[in-house]
Structure 1
């Protein structure tokens, strides 16, 4: 789609409505204030710009029509409406979109926040809505506070502390931190580093737990498990938002107020200190509102509607091997560390692999830590894993801790290579059976993929195999196959026949070195996501490996993984590639850049027969075998919590 004259006029009209007549727009332009390279600015300056684009009913209808048609592929569309078991769901997306359509918003930003909030209520990390105007994907419009926080158990309660994030030795440091600290000090004359280790007594005059829980339950939408949402809201050792979702906001919805007031109790002090900290936003360079709207917000031909969730996370710079920190996280903690740090006391770093590492914990125990399955150069992960396990064999490390804390998922093929290497099974037992929701466009996509022989397409039958025999599909009649009719969420819908992956696994299991299930234990902080979640359920349900989770709410059972929905997907590319962009059943790209990522297929446990009552893994909650409290001794200390995990393994022998 080209930006036609009408779209150019629309951009001019939008900016004119927001800032006055075109002749006076330059003098009143609230977006042309951020410098040639962008800068950290105060909340009000950022929000004045973000809220300056007016609400437009034509764009509203384009966006909502696009979202509604896209959601016909969402496999949990009906299930989400009425699920009453553990962590129930009562979200009617279509009714919610209609309510948004009937609402008059004060600006375009508020309209997009309403859609994002509706999606957030699903707590399905695979299913998200993005508008590039407000989440450009390059860290622009990220909002940040100065004090990342951890929650540490004190009996049955949590106490909260400020974490070190202020020098490049900290695992929480990122490349934006120097400019952020410079700007924060300019606006406040406060050096946040002097408050590292302080206990956070209150936030905005309220108990800290109440504030964090309220935020986590309403805005951390990536998990159905409340303890996992809490862990994500707080500072963590993950590959992306290590400051925690409460401290750094990267979504469309920005903070509601300009400041946050902390009541802190500094280390070795008896009196509290009250600090009112402004939110700072990383504003992009903008020459004018009209220019920003045209170049960032409007859709142009030849571009995708947007990248998937993982690439948006990647805007936050990853620091895979942090050094030893010099400041305490909390009283009693000296060196904040992360799993693949090469200087963990008492732990021998053996080798790094793509997004992970092998380490030696003691004379019989190895640790394999992987924080995602991003696609490395072809074949390299298989070589790395094989080399790593050969080292473990030579060292006679017969016990294995698998650490998938903050594992963001990724390519299922890589995950299944690992699973099959450790505990090989035939395909019908290795792969979880899946299905998809049928809508009028599905058979057209499958037919087009077959007719064009697009063998790499999701929609080509050769991508899939029979879940009862394990044999690859050889005919277009097999996918989507004989349709099943189920009642989910009180709604009758049609679903495909079940199918499994048709992968060629190149990492062959060792014939000389095998672990028994009792010699392996799976560990995470609850955020083992997507491919990481399916891996966890394989270890847990199929192999019988014991599992351990850390953190969350004291005394509350918690799952070791989250979002095992089956597969994240974004439809626009395939529709265009297969020549169906003009089909009346296809979502039509609106004139602004929005993206809907969603769960396209649902995975089932092998014990779930094809029936109305089958519960997909996404809704089949399974708690971890053991739970470890996060304390001042083990927070950001892999050497400590891995030993705790090893002790649980020994107790299980």
Structure 2
């Protein structure tokens, strides 16, 4: 009897304990993930399980109401302002590789799918928008970007004996695999697998550029050291479909090797969560009171690669200047067009110091390496063009789409503008500590940069008509009457325009009176642009202006063997983040206008990164003097010359620079 009582007591106690703690983390998908992170967070070698991440992501059920609101925000933004919405329905030009898309129609179609999880729905939106191959058009839900996935090895492409192969660039776990040929990945030919992955990337309309972006190379850090630039095939920010990758290698002496590598998965945010509910409230739901915090960075010292054919003579945060071993060729490596400290004016002077250093070294030829450059400041980009070609206007014609909503934005922003007849003199900095010619020039540059700043992209007084070189005087004049048939859709666009101050350069140059900046002796025929095709946004502006307007030759590196390769990507015109758009509409009073309520995109209910292309750039008169009305984003422009990597040049770009100088600049 006593034994029965004890058993009953134990059962009652167990039931009470269960009721008091019904949400054991081991029974909660994200809870298991949280426990793994907490147990191993101080171990730099730890990795959470792929299955646990997937289970956490898939623990959030599909919410039809949230889905409809998300699609509504995307559609209204795109229909109101996305400049390529109609053009994207056109079939690609020969040389490009992408699918023509009616984006609004296909976003609508997602709502008819029978989703079970939010993750599946959001992943389909990401994939659809990435298919546009417009790297300025981004949709990324923060909820599923909390982890980084690393194979702890990297790959590159080499061409040897007229054969293209994939090789191991670096391997954190097994140095013996480096430079082994990867014959197969997951049982399939390696190039085929990488191409399939690369074609999911949004970074270019050129398949060869996407292929390059999937593979590893080298780049310069802010200290001027040459380090690895990992490819997106082996380091990802979206959950891979499989938990591991199998590699089949052929190494020295034709020895074969096969191994499977698990993804090393680490969190990118250190916010604490215990359950799926915690995870959703912290990372997924829009909550301005919660800021995502970064964990302590892993102290991994990158390998520094050496260059055999050059010496560095000057460096800035975004540019490195070299003289090649031939003692007559200079190299400018531009890794970005966005100074990390945001000091654009200082970077202008620093760039000039770099070119001056090359001039003092007596170099007669220039190799302009723009590989791996994601872009940045358009003003700084066009300033670089101006430094080398001061006699030419670096601008291309732009326009924006005219819709009921954008039309109202033009009227309202312009009605509040102070730029019709004068610049904002209140922004002129005081004239202090002026003791030299350079300090006067810096003051003038700061002044020009400040007072000509564009307040709103919808303020038409910020633009001028390139045909008459005068600013627009009325919104009606700016909008004009320009309807084009694109993708089978009649769409209205504004009149062609350039920035009123030519990206702040004209006034800048006038203030300096041409007395500070050198006029270099280098001509177009003395220069060549070298790029892997990932020279995007404002970098593309530099490359295309120099190539198209100034006849600078181009050479592309990598891509698919015997297939032409673009020398730049996604030239765009101007990108606008969703938060910036809403702020602009709020400032000009459109959010308070009830008559426009059905057109205004509602705010997202989730944390999301969303941006789109607001302006598009146009091609110029070509060599046959035939007027081009093509939008640059959709014009295929392959490089004139082509190089491929081998085992040496993949890690030592000076070898390719010298090759370009010897073969293409003499």
Determine which of 92, 102, 111 is the counterpart of 1:101: 111
Q: Deviations over 1:487-533 (max 9, x none)?
A: 10101111111111232224768454231100011110111111111
- Partner of 1:244, secondary structure, is coil
- Deviation for aligned residue 1:280: 2.5
Question: CA 1:259–1:303 in structure 2 vs 1: closer, same or farther (change >3 Å)?
Answer: closer
CA contact (8 A) 1:373 1:411 kept: yes
- Partner of 1:538, secondary structure, is helix
CA contact (8 A) 1:415 1:532 kept: yes
Match of 2:194 in 1: 212
Q: How does 1:57-456 map to 2 (within 5 A)?
A: 57-72=64-79, 73-86=81-94, 87=96, 89-135=99-145, 140-164=146-170, 166=172, 191-217=173-199, 219-238=200-219, 242-251=229-238, 254-266=239-251, 268-283=252-267, 284-285=269-270, 286-301=273-288, 324=304, 337=305, 343-361=306-324, 362-375=326-339, 376-426=342-392, 429-453=393-417, 455-456=454-455
- Partner of 1:521, secondary structure, is strand
C-alpha distance in structure 2 between counterparts of 1:113 and 1:515, whole Å? 50
CA contact (8 A) 2:620 2:628 kept: no
What's the Cα RMSD here? 3.0
Match of 2:438 in 1: none
CA contact (8 A) 2:619 2:628 kept: no
C-alpha distance in structure 1 between counterparts of 2:180 and 2:187, whole Å? 17
Match of 1:13 in 2: none
- Partner of 2:229, secondary structure, is coil
Question: CA 1:615–1:25 in structure 2 vs 1: closer, same or farther (change >3 Å)?
Answer: farther
Match of 2:604 in 1: 590
Normalising by structure 2, what TM-score? 0.80
- Partner of 1:441, secondary structure, is helix
- Partner of 2:408, secondary structure, is helix
As a proportion of its length, which structure holds more helix? 2
CA contact (8 A) 1:150 1:235 kept: yes
- Deviation for aligned residue 1:448: 2.9
- Asked whether 1:515 is paired with 2:525, we answer no
Question: CA 1:322–1:288 in structure 2 vs 1: closer, same or farther (change >3 Å)?
Answer: closer
C-alpha distance in structure 1 between counterparts of 2:415 and 2:288, whole Å? 26
- Deviation for aligned residue 1:239: 7.2
- Partner of 2:109, secondary structure, is helix
- Partner of 1:77, secondary structure, is coil
- Deviation for aligned residue 1:445: 1.9
- Deviation for aligned residue 1:125: 1.2
C-alpha distance in structure 1 between counterparts of 2:630 and 2:544, whole Å? 14
CA contact (8 A) 1:350 1:360 kept: yes
C-alpha distance in structure 2 between counterparts of 1:561 and 1:477, whole Å? 35
Point out the more displaced range, 205-214 or 39-48.
Answer: 39-48
C-alpha distance in structure 2 between counterparts of 1:604 and 1:531, whole Å? 14
Match of 1:626 in 2: 641
C-alpha distance in structure 2 between counterparts of 1:357 and 1:261, whole Å? 38
Question: CA 1:531–1:450 in structure 2 vs 1: closer, same or farther (change >3 Å)?
Answer: same
Match of 1:638 in 2: 653
Question: CA 1:122–1:418 in structure 2 vs 1: closer, same or farther (change >3 Å)?
Answer: same
Match of 1:181 in 2: none
Mark the runs of 5 or more structure 1 residues left unpaired by the alignment: 1-19, 167-190, 307-311, 325-336, 338-342
Match of 2:30 in 1: 31
Match of 1:175 in 2: none
- Asked whether 1:527 is paired with 2:525, we answer no
C-alpha distance in structure 1 between counterparts of 2:643 and 2:215, whole Å? 17
- Asked whether 1:45 is paired with 2:52, we answer yes
Q: Deviations over 1:399-447 (max 9, x none)?
A: 1111100011111000000001101245xx4200011112221122223
- Deviation for aligned residue 1:477: 4.5
Q: Deviations over 1:35-84 (max 9, x none)?
A: 34485212112111111111110110010001111111211111111234
C-alpha distance in structure 2 between counterparts of 1:485 and 1:534, whole Å? 26
Question: CA 1:22–1:528 in structure 2 vs 1: closer, same or farther (change >3 Å)?
Answer: farther
CA contact (8 A) 2:620 2:627 kept: no
Q: Deviations over 1:216-235 (max 9, x none)?
A: 11x22211111111100111
- Deviation for aligned residue 1:476: 4.3
Mark the runs of 5 or more structure 2 residues left unpaired by the alignment: 1-18, 222-227, 419-453
- Deviation for aligned residue 1:483: 3.5
Question: CA 1:560–1:109 in structure 2 vs 1: closer, same or farther (change >3 Å)?
Answer: same
Match of 2:504 in 1: 504
- Partner of 2:153, secondary structure, is coil
CA contact (8 A) 1:400 1:519 kept: yes
Determine which of 556, 560, 564 is the counterpart of 1:557: 564
Question: CA 1:91–1:317 in structure 2 vs 1: closer, same or farther (change >3 Å)?
Answer: farther
C-alpha distance in structure 1 between counterparts of 2:315 and 2:21, whole Å? 57
CA contact (8 A) 2:248 2:259 kept: yes
The number of residue pairs the alignment matches comes to: 570
Q: Deviations over 1:125-170 (max 9, x none)?
A: 11121101012xxxx312121321111113443111111253xxxx
Q: Deviations over 1:374-401 (max 9, x none)?
A: 1431411111012112212222212111
Question: CA 1:41–1:35 in structure 2 vs 1: closer, same or farther (change >3 Å)?
Answer: closer
C-alpha distance in structure 2 between counterparts of 1:250 and 1:102, whole Å? 28
C-alpha distance in structure 1 between counterparts of 2:21 and 2:414, whole Å? 52
- Partner of 2:202, secondary structure, is coil
- Partner of 1:390, secondary structure, is helix
C-alpha distance in structure 2 between counterparts of 1:23 and 1:440, whole Å? 54
